[in-house]
Structure 1
Amino acid sequence: MITDVSKYKTIYEGGIGEFIMKKSRFIATVHPVEAEEAAIEFIDEMNKKYWDASHNCYAYVIGTINPIMRCSDDGEPSQTAGKPMLDVLLSHELTNLLVVVTRYFGGTLLGTGGLVKAYQSAVIEGLNNSRIITKELGIRLQMLTDYSHIGKIQYYIGQETLPVLSSEYTDSVKLELMIPFNQYNSFVKKITDLTSGSVNLQKKEQAYFTMIDDEVYLF
């Protein structure tokens, strides 16, 4: 479960994974969702896409505080599909995602233990083929300083590996940064000390952010 809502794991891009057991084929489709209505709509899409499948089981988690958690066995024996699938999502501490596992029956009964293993293995394969990210709550900060301090500031920013949104060099230097929420006060104090209070800091909006391929994405 998520214990710190200032930072949580989710998926940026969903993926598809497949697991085969005794000729039964299990296809996991992982999809990002941020509202239950979107989850229900996607489940309906999967039911139409895989209309000829034996089962379309699902599990989803939405939200960080008191998250919505739902799952369905879709006709499989109770507790052998949806709940084990949900357990995988929770064990990975993920939210705002849905997974549908489609089963094509291979002619051999797998038993309850076999079903649990197959559905969980399919979910893991789907997650392995998805892009998992961490979204962190941050504060966008605009900084205006002269050139005499920029070296020390950039060195400190580099040490802390803080995302730089933009930089502008004219008669002075203007930087825009994303500062993790829990580091904001200490960052402001450090920059104030480094520049003897001569830097101009403007606090902007709060947003969640992540780094993807060295690019900053705000949400």
Structure 2
Amino acid sequence: MLPEYRTIYQGGEDEIVEKKSRFIATVIPVENEEEALEFIEKTKKKYWDARHNCFAYVIGERGQLQRCSDDGEPNGTAGKPMLDVLLGNELRNVAVVVTRYFGGTLLGTGGLVRAYSQAVKAGLQASVVITKILGVKLHIETDYTTFGKIQYILAQRELKILDTVYTDKVELEVLIPKTELEQVMHAITEGTNAQADMTPKEECYYAEIDGVPTVLE
């Protein structure tokens, strides 16, 4: 699994108007091609009376699967520019459909490329874009004397505590980027004179959403 990648947490919809043609962009997160194709068909049914429903999607943490369609527009004027916007934003596991209602005026090749690109950008701005980080849940047990030192070390690194249990000792669960795990454990060992017991637990992807670390899977 990648240490991190950008994706969509919550899809969105927006539209632009170019020479009376409406370009409606609908963006959603997808996990596989089946979800992407279902979304495309659903959108085509919703906008059944539109002239075009062009699409693009990128699936896989490394963008292994990439597809796009001009859906009747001149070759290379819709799907590819849409896909280029997704790739330019380094997005993964995302699909977008841009629906066009023709306004009666031809836009030309360059005009179409710009319109479809701008529509996707508008759709992304209406969505919630996140960076998924591969993390490890670290379980820490310590006494009250060293608890403050651990809090200080975590705060320095802007690491968030998921849970705290107070009994005759203090138990913490902390979400740490996998790439920083060894450094953090070393810092805690040094800072507490090895007075803290640490156990790495399961790996998971998480993201900062409204300033709160949210476990995604």
TM-score normalised by L of structure 1: 0.96
Residue 81 of structure 2 corresponds to residue 84 of structure 1: yes
Structure 2 residue ranges without an equivalent (≥5): none
Distance 1:100 1:65 in 2: 21
CA contact (8 A) 2:62 2:92 kept: no
Calculate percent identity across the aligned residue pairs: 55
SS in 2 for 1:211: strand
Structure 1 residue ranges without an equivalent (≥5): none
| Partner of residue 10, structure 1 | 7
Instruction: Summarize the alignment of residues 25-36 of structure 1 with structure 2, pairs less than 5 Å apart.
Output: 25-36=22-33
Instruction: Summarize the alignment of residues 61-80 of structure 1 with structure 2, pairs less than 5 Å apart.
Output: 61-65=58-62, 67-80=64-77
Q: Deviations over 1:172-217 (max 9, x none)?
A: 1110011101101111111111111121111101111112123322
One of 113, 117, 128 as aligned partner of 2:114: 117
Q: Deviations over 1:9-52 (max 9, x none)?
A: 11111111111111000000001101000000000000100000
Residue 180 of structure 2 corresponds to residue 169 of structure 1: no
RMSD: 1.1
Q: Deviations over 1:87-132 (max 9, x none)?
A: 0001111111100000000001100000000000000000011001
Distance 2:129 2:97 in 1: 17
Instruction: Summarize the alignment of residues 76-155 of structure 1 with structure 2, pairs less than 5 Å apart.
Output: 76-155=73-152
Query: How many matched pairs?
Result: 216
SS in 2 for 1:189: helix
Code of the residue aligned with 1:91 in structure 2: it is G
| Partner of residue 211, structure 2 | 214
TM-score normalised by L of structure 2: 0.97
CA contact (8 A) 2:146 2:192 kept: yes
| Partner of residue 49, structure 1 | 46
